[in-house]
Chains A and B, each alone.
Chain A
């Protein structure tokens, strides 16, 4: 079938018009849509990456905080143990000193009590001996001895009247 130049021109015009039409109303919006989509994906990817990094940082910070808290807790525990140990030692030392003081006090009291008892016994013995001597004298001090006693008293002592 022969192709006429008029038909050819018409076809050519058709093609050009179609091209222009398609380019204007299809290619450009689709390209724009695709570009925007790509940009959105890139933004979301970047955002996701940022979030991931942030999360990682937060995880690290949390771990660091936990580690610090653990160290601090250990330090507090050690300090508390030390303080308790010191307090216990101090209490024991105080108790020991108090016990020593009480023992010393008791020893002094015992010695004092013994001394008092001895003194009391001596006093009682002396009183008893003197009472006994008085009883013996009541029986044994005869008029002769009495005279002799009076002689001795008057001779041995001088009166300054």
Chain B
């Protein structure tokens, strides 16, 4: 079983990393972290826990917004 957690950030910032680790401390107890920097996520962070992906990135939020808008659009279209 892979015990390593991956934290992806847009820029390296110690304070932010500490804050995120605290935020995920309960689930991350006794496990090690791997930090990755990916500017394409724009901001925020992504935690990869085994096959689970917790996307709190600005890119992910925008994607969610885009999907929500598209869904709403298709629902409006279907109603019409």
Contacts and interface: CB of A to CB of B under 8 A. Distances in A.
Contact of B44 (A133, A149, A161): A149
Given A137-B43, A141-B43, A154 B13 contact: no
Interface residues of B, number: 32
B46 to A, nearest CB: 11
Interface residues of A, number: 26
A137 B73 contact: no
A138 interface: yes
A65 B14 CA distance: 122
Contact of A147 (B13, B27, B74): B13
Contacts of B43: 137, 141, 145-146, 149-150
Contacts, number: 77
A34 B62 CA distance: 143
A153 B19 CA distance: 11
B73 A161 contact: no
Contacts of A42: none
Interface in A41-98: none
A152 to B, nearest CB: 9
B36 to A, nearest CB: 15
Interface in B6-20: 10-11, 13, 15-16, 19-20
10 contacts: A118-B77, A127-B66, A137-B42, A143-B11, A147-B16, A149-B43, A153-B44, A153-B56, A159-B23, A159-B54
Interface of A: 115, 118-119, 122-123, 126-127, 130, 133-134, 137-138, 141, 143, 145-147, 149-151, 153-154, 157, 159-161
